[in-house]
Amino acid sequence: MTGQPLPTTLGQLLAELTFAPELRDVDPATPVRAVTLDSRRATAGTLFAALPGARAHGATFAGQAIAAGACAVLTDPAGLEHLPAQAPALVVPDVRAALGEVSACLLGQPAQALTTFGVTGTNGKTTTTFLLDHVLRSMGWRTGLIGTVENRVGDVALASTLTTPESPDLQGWLAQMRDAGVDMLSMEVSSHALALHRVDGVTFDVVGFTNLSQDHLDFHGDLEGYFATKADLFTPERARRGVVVVDDAWGRRLATEADIPVATLSTVGEDADWVVSEVAPSAVGSTFLLRHHDGRAVRTSVSLPGPFNVANAALALAMVLEGGADVRDLVAALGDGIDARVPGRMEVVATAPRVVVDFAHNAEALELALTALRATTPGRLIVVFGATGDRDAGKRPVMGRVAATHADVAVVTDDDPHGEDPAAVRREVLAGTTGIDDARATVHEVAPRQDAIARAVAMAGPEDTVLVAGRGHETIQEVAGVDLPLDDRVVARSAAARWHDDHAAAVATSPEHEEP
């Protein structure tokens, strides 16, 4: 809490805001308890934030909110035109730009009670926040987590719907964390969130940047716009200090353009404040050394395969250290290393044969995941994957080509077909696997996905690796508009258990095998 009582009337709320909305029919004594941007969630005393959406202006639902007890509507001039007569209104030029402050104010600025870590970048946000959370817990802190997979207060987790929640929900989570005695928050900050003001009302203690590559250009226009949105996190309104991975050109540019103090981090030999060296892959992950030019050093390991997970882990460690942790305390807390599990992110669900479930759902990520696993696979590399229906059809043959050139066996199956014919999507993926000079994979087409995973695991030898790519932690597959339960990790685990049962049975019945 800030020590100040929470505003309980519209008048008190207005007095605390740094901006002054234009008021229509507002009685300052009206009680206010909460804010929402969804009329379906309005109850007595809710301020309804009505903003323009892709489909409708929220103000068209104001009547519904008022009928449910909303005390007033926060809207823009366009919204005013849709409001019922005499509906009390607070009018601002841009509702989203006002919403974060209003939400934080109504809940007593909960972010100020927490040490906050925010991670942005095209890839690695979920993984890095989970690793941050793991490290902070190891150090004895009570933690909170917000991101794509789940939102968590202490040990209580709920599946999330957005990577970064809308500001009324975000501030609600932060207030729950404050009230539950959470010390440290690790949070993903998506580019959508920055563009849509979802994190207004939070000034992060430390922010981290993983990398930037082509994504979400439908929303941001071009890469330059996408970069500018991400860079907005590295400004004094949003963060106190940052750590930037400078392995790509966008990171190097961000490090020079950021308006806050930043420490740079390199895992590929770039000149940087924090440098990763002595990386040694193992069957489950990697060991590495993270060293600052001032002499601080951490030699540790991360239990997730792939060089990119060394980068994610090093970023998490550097953020904790830049946040003020003592390097000796950190080293003592890590013990044998960072033994973290991130749902559906290079998650090793079985060994001998090793079965890995990963979220890689585009060609670039698939190639990275296969390359990472190849380095630690003594036998064959088998991949099970598909492409999403109703989305970016251009990536389908490219994914097929990547699988054909980087795996020994490619099992083409369905991802989320959505409304599209699954067989037609598979055909486009398969088209990419043919006519390539450097193809190495034998290609199979197997559907549905459960069968493909089972086939791939059954054909593996103990030295092989099976990568089940594309769906990560997801538990619902949409086929022809119907939501079907499907968790790759559950299917892969039971296929691996069957493999071990079958092999144990084969050994037991072989003529050479004699009971002791």
The binding site for ATP comprises 121-127
Q: Are strands 46-49 and 34-36 parallel, antiparallel or unpaired?
A: parallel
Residue owning tokens 């009582």: 5
* Closest residue to ligand UAG, based on beta-carbon distance: 53
Binding piece for ligand UAG, criterion CB under 6 A, among 32-40, 202-210, 340-348, 471-479: 32-40
The answer to whether residues 202 and 146 touch, using CB atoms and an 8 Å cutoff, is: no
Of the residues 95, 365, 446, 452, which one makes contact with ligand ATP according to CB under 6 A: 365
217-225: long-range contacts at Cβ-Cβ below 8 A with a sequence spacing of 24 or more? 219/191, 219/192, 219/195, 220/191, 220/195
* Residue 186 within binding range of ligand ATP, rule CB under 6 A: no
| Cα separation, 486 vs 450, whole angstroms | 8
Task: Pick the binder of ligand UAG from 74, 193, 409, 446 (CB under 6 A).
Answer: 193
Q: Are 305 and 281 in contact (CB under 8 A)?
A: yes
Strand order of the β-sheet with 34-36 is 22-24, 89-91, 72-75, 46-49, 34-36
Separation between Cα atoms, residue 228 and residue 325, nearest integer Å: 30
**Does residue 499 belong to the site contacting ligand ATP (CB under 6 A)?**
no
Tell me the window of 271-279, 363-371, 389-397, 411-419 that interacts with ligand ATP (CB under 6 A): 363-371
Question: Shortest gap between Cβ of 496 and ligand ATP (angstroms)?
Answer: 19
56 lies in the binding site for ligand UAG (CB under 6 A): yes
Residue 318's identity, in one-letter code, is: A
Pairing of strands 156-159, 150-153: antiparallel
CB closer to ligand UAG, 214 vs 434: 214
Q: Running DSSP on this structure, what letter comes out for residue 341?
A: -
Q: How far is the CB of 418 from ligand ATP (least distance, A)?
A: 17
- Contacts with ligand UAG in 258-317 (CB under 6 A)? none
Q: Which candidate, 42, 34, 195, places its Cα nearest to that of 105?
A: 34
Residue 409, helix vs strand vs coil = strand
Of 125, 104, 239, residue with least CA distance to 169:
104
Q: Give the dihedral sign, CA 388/392/397/398.
A: negative
- Report how far residue 90's alpha carbon sits from residue 22's, in angstroms, rounded to the nearest whole number: 6
**Closest residue to ligand ATP using C-beta atoms:** 124
From the list ligand UAG, ligand ATP, none, which binds 123 (C-beta under 5 to 8 Å, kind-based)? ligand ATP
Question: Which is nearest to 308 in space by CA: 372, 385, 265, 241?
Answer: 372
Is residue 92 helix, strand or coil? coil
Of these, 20, 54, 85, 508, which contacts ligand UAG (CB under 6 A)?
54
Which of ligand UAG, ligand ATP, none sits in contact with 513, Cβ below 5 to 8 A by type?
none
211 is a contact residue toward ligand UAG (CB under 6 A): no
451 binding ligand UAG? (CB under 6 A): no
72 versus 298: smaller Cβ distance to ligand UAG = 72
Q: Which of residues 158-177 bind ligand UAG (CB under 6 A)?
A: 162-164, 166
For residues 215 and 223, what is the distance between their CA atoms, to the nearest angstrom? 8
Q: Can you tell me which of 46, 151, 191, 211 binds ligand ATP, judged by CB under 6 A? A: 211
Q: Does 58 bind ligand UAG (CB under 6 A)?
A: yes
125 near ligand ATP (CB under 6 A): yes
Select from 206, 372, 342 the least CA-distant residue to 274: 206
Instruction: Identify the three-state secondary structure at position 175.
Output: helix
Give the one entry of ligand UAG, ligand ATP, none that residue 210 binds, where binding means its C-beta sits below a cut-off of 5 to 8 angstroms depending on kind. ligand ATP
Site residues for ligand ATP, window 299-318 (CB under 6 A)? 308, 311-312
Q: Which residues pair with 104 in a beta bridge?
A: none
- Are 288 and 279 spatial neighbours (Cβ–Cβ below 8 Å)? yes
118: contact with ligand UAG by CB under 6 A: no
- Which x/- pattern, by CB under 6 A, does the window 126-165 give for ligand ATP? xx--------------------x--------------x--
- Least distance from C-beta 253 to ligand ATP, angstroms? 17
Q: At closest approach, how far in Å is the CB of 167 from ligand UAG?
A: 10
In the complex with ligand UAG, which residue's Cβ is closer, 50 or 468? Answer: 50
192 binds, among ligand ATP, ligand UAG, none (CB under 5 to 8 A by kind): ligand UAG
Contact 243, 220 (CB under 8 A): no
Binding ligand UAG (rule: CB under 6 A), the pick from 192, 240, 391, 493 is: 192
∠345-349-355 over CA atoms, to 5°?
Answer: 90
Q: Which residues contact ligand ATP by CB under 6 A?
A: 123-127, 148, 163, 188, 210-211, 308, 311-312, 345, 358-360, 365, 368-369, 472
- Residues engaged in binding ligand UAG (CB under 6 A): 37-40, 51, 53-56, 58, 61, 162-164, 166, 190, 192-193
